[in-house]
Structure 1
Amino acid sequence: MTAKYFAPTGGHPPQTQLLTDRAVFTDAYAVIPKGTMRDITTSFLPFWDATRLWVIARPMTGFAETFSHYIMEVAPNGGSDRPEVDAGAEAALFVVEGTATLTVDGTTHVLTEGGYAYLPPAADWTLHNMADTPLRFHWIRKAYEAVAGLDAPDVIITNDADVAPTVMPGTDGKWATTRFADPADLRHDMHVTIVTFEPGAVIPFLETHVMEHGLYVLEGKAAYRLNTDWVEVEAGDYMWLRAFCPQACYAGGPGKFRYLLYKDVNRHMNLRLGAR
Structure 2
Amino acid sequence: MDMIKTAERTYYAPQGGHPGQNELLTGRAVFTEAYAVIPKGVMQDIVTSPLPFWDKTRAWIIARPLSGFAETFSQYVVEVLPDGGSERPELDAGAEGVLFVVEGELTVSVAGKQNVLAPGGFAFLPPASGWTVRNESAAAVRFHWIRKAYEAVDGLDVPEAFFSSDQDVAPSPMPGTEGRWATTRFVDPADMRHDMHVTIVTLKPGAVIPFAETHVMEHGLYVLEGKAVYRLNQDWVEVEAGDFMWLRAFCPQACYAGGPGNFRYLLYKDVNRHARLGGYLGSRAR
Question: Same fold by TM (over 0.5)?
Answer: yes
Is residue 221–residue 244 contact of structure 2 (8 Å, CA) maintained in 1? yes
List gaps (5 residues or longer) in structure 1: none
Is residue 205–residue 263 contact of structure 2 (8 Å, CA) maintained in 1? yes
1:78 aligned to 2:122? no
Structure 1 CA distance for aligned equivalents of residues 75 and 256 of structure 2: 25
Q: How far is 1:273 from its partner?
A: 4.6
Q: How far is 1:202 from its partner?
A: 0.3
Query: Of the candidates 31, 34, 42, which is equivalent to residue 28 of structure 1?
Result: 34
**Root-mean-square deviation (Å):** 1.0
Is residue 198–residue 253 contact of structure 1 (8 Å, CA) maintained in 2? no
User: What percent identity do the matched residue pairs reach?
Assistant: 71
Spell out structure 1 runs of 4+ moving beyond 3 A: none
1:251 aligned to 2:257? yes
Aligned length: 275
1:125 aligned to 2:131? yes
For the residue of structure 1 that corresponds to 2:12, the secondary structure is coil
1:154 aligned to 2:160? yes
**Could you say which residue in structure 2 is the equivalent of 1:53?**
59
Q: How far is 1:105 from its partner?
A: 1.3
Q: How far is 1:64 from its partner?
A: 2.4
TM-score (norm 1): 0.98
Query: Of the candidates 16, 38, 62, which is equivalent to residue 22 of structure 2?
Result: 16
Structure 1 CA distance for aligned equivalents of residues 245 and 8 of structure 2: 25
Structure 2 CA distance for aligned equivalents of residues 225 and 62 of structure 1: 20
Structure 2 CA distance for aligned equivalents of residues 63 and 20 of structure 1: 23
Structure 2 CA distance for aligned equivalents of residues 165 and 74 of structure 1: 29
- Alignment of structure 1 residues 163-202 onto 2, 5 Å: 163-202=169-208
Amino acid in the other structure paired with 2:124: Y
For the residue of structure 1 that corresponds to 2:242, the secondary structure is coil
- 1:89-112 Cα offsets, whole Å, 9 max, x none, are 000000000000110111110100
For the residue of structure 2 that corresponds to 1:251, the secondary structure is strand
Q: How far is 1:63 from its partner?
A: 3.1
Query: Of the candidates 100, 119, 122, which is equivalent to residue 106 of structure 2?
Result: 100
Query: Of the candidates 72, 75, 78, which is equivalent to residue 69 of structure 1?
Result: 75
List gaps (5 residues or longer) in structure 2: 1-6
Structure 2 CA distance for aligned equivalents of residues 147 and 257 of structure 1: 36
TM-score (norm 2): 0.95
1:43 aligned to 2:71? no
Structure 2 CA distance for aligned equivalents of residues 8 and 273 of structure 1: 40
Structure 2 CA distance for aligned equivalents of residues 252 and 77 of structure 1: 40
